[in-house]
Amino acid sequence: MSFGKSLCILTLLVGTLFAVEVFSLPKVTPELKSKAQEYYNDECKACHRWERKFAAPPMKENVAQYADNPEEMVKYLMHPTPRHPETWPPMEITPLTEEQAKMMTAWLLYILSNPEDPGRPK
Ligand code: HEC
């Protein structure tokens, strides 16, 4: 193979490696739990209850929708767009930063699969 050709293939390979950003959520540590819980109490609890409708749909159902697609939940929290215009008003909140959205998604999914956690929202 010519040098030019190898260089070209190498450039392509490196380009592909850096172009693919793998989505991942932070690990649910005790620190993350307490930060997320505090954020929830300040920014989410006013409208959401865990298991029942309040000023917004129950958080348990909200999160369950995204159990297989946490990346979409992160996107939603960073940029809430109307989801159920027939039933609910749009969610009007200060959009979360990527870091906040990932923290909340990681924690809420953790709570969904660990409903006995003492930090579970009411
Ligand atoms: C001002 C009230 C209000 C606050 C505060 C609020 N929400 Fe919501 N939330 C809503 C409403 C209303 C909906 C339904 C919106 C829709 O269906 O378009 C909703 C829907 C959602 C959904 C489901 C979206 C879907 O695809 O069905 C998630 C997840 C969610 N909220 C998470 C959060 C989180 C996390 C917080 C705190 C950072 C938060 N919400 C704070 C009112 C609120």
Binding site membership of 111 for ligand 1 (Cβ less than 6 Å)? no
Angstrom distances, CA of residue 120 to CA of 15, 22, 45:
43, 29, 12
Report, as an integer, the average pLDDT of 19-42: 95
pLDDT tens per residue across span 52-102: 999 999 999 999 999 999 999 999 999 999 999 999 999 999 999 999 999
> The whole model's pTM is what?
0.89
Give residue 3's pLDDT band: very low, low, confident or very high (50, 70, 90).
low
Pocket test for ligand 1, best of 39, 91, 97, 110 (most atoms within 8 A of CB): 91
Is ligand 1 within 6 A of the CB of residue 78?
Answer: no
Per-residue model confidence (pLDDT) at position 72? 98
Give the model's confidence band at 8: pLDDT under 50 very low, under 70 low, under 90 confident, else very high: low
SS3 16: helix
CB of 83 closer than 6 angstroms to any ligand 1 atom: yes
Closest CA to 108 of 25, 52, 42: 25
**Ligand 1 pocket check for 55: Cβ under 6 Å:** yes
Query: Does 20 score more than 90 pLDDT?
Result: no
Structural domains in the chain, CATH included, are 26-113 (1.10.760.10)
CA of 83 from ligand 1 middle (Å) equals 10
116 confidence band (pLDDT: 50, 70, 90): very high
